[in-house]
Amino acid sequence: MESPGAEERYNQRIATIEPVFSVLEDAMGFRRVSSRKEETVRAEITLKFLAYNISRLIAARKLCRVRVMLIWDLA
């Protein structure tokens, strides 16, 4: 924190990165990974981030058309 610009970078990180981890912990219940192997840990974390991003897209109703198209294809 003593280097020039460190506090600004820290504040920017809190505003952009930390809320994602907060949602993963609180809303999705993701507190620890189920494996110790690096490859599977990366895969599990990637899937959690993907789920987070999809939930945000659904909340923004940007996938509404995709849902309608999928339902139409299944009928």
pLDDT of residue 39: 92
pTM exceeds cut of 0.85: no
Q: Are 44 and 35 in contact (CB under 8 A)?
A: yes
**What residues does each domain of the chain span?**
6-74
- Over the stretch 28-46, which tens digit does the pLDDT of each residue have? 777 777 888 999 989 988 8
Please report, in angstroms and rounded to a whole number, the separation of the first and last CA atoms in the chain.
Answer: 58
- Residue 23 pLDDT more than 80? no
**CA 52 – CA 11 distance, rounded (Å):** 22
C-alpha distances (whole Å) from 7 to each of 14, 19, 20, 36 are: 11, 18, 20, 33
- Residue tagged 């809190």 (tokens): 14
